[in-house]
Amino acid sequence: MLFDLTNDNINDFINKSSGLVLVEFYTPTCKNCQSLLPILEDISDDYYGQLKVYKINCETEIQLADTYDVFSLPTTILFDNELPLKEISGLHSYKQIVSWLDL
């Protein structure tokens, strides 16, 4: 299970974190977001120690979605030392995401 980030705790998990952090922006009613969740959980398990993976609920964290210009769901952003490095939108397979991450 991925941990939910909020406006109150994002600094502790992204801005004060060194290394790579992957964040899925989602809503609970988005079917593609729900389908992506187990894929990201697998990536989190398989790349433990190399990559931290979290999620942000755009229904409750509207300000964070606006801050990172999230216009479609799901949107997944890779951060490196607190800076957005790259992003991908939509539902993708495990293999496609791992290839996109290029770890």
* Residue 33: CATH number of its domain: 3.40.30.10
Catalytic residue among 22, 33, 58, 70: 33
- Give the mean model confidence (pLDDT) for residues 32-56: 97
Catalytic residue among 20, 30, 37, 51: 30
Percentage of the chain modeled with pLDDT above 70: 100
Q: What is the total count of domains within the chain?
A: 1
28, pLDDT greater than 90: yes
**pLDDT single digits (tens) 81-101:** 889 999 999 999 999 999 999
> Is the bond preceding 74 in cis, omega lying within 30 degrees of 0?
yes
Q: Distance (Å, rounded) from C-alpha 81 to C-alpha 38?
A: 25
Q: Is-above-0.85 flag for pTM? A: yes
Mean pLDDT of the chain: 96
Tell me if residue 58 is catalytic: no
60, pLDDT greater than 90: yes
CB-CB contact of 3 with 21 (8 Å): no
- Give the mean model confidence (pLDDT) for residues 8-30: 93
Please identify which residue in the block is written with the tokens 């939509």.
Answer: 90
Domain containing 13 equals 3-101
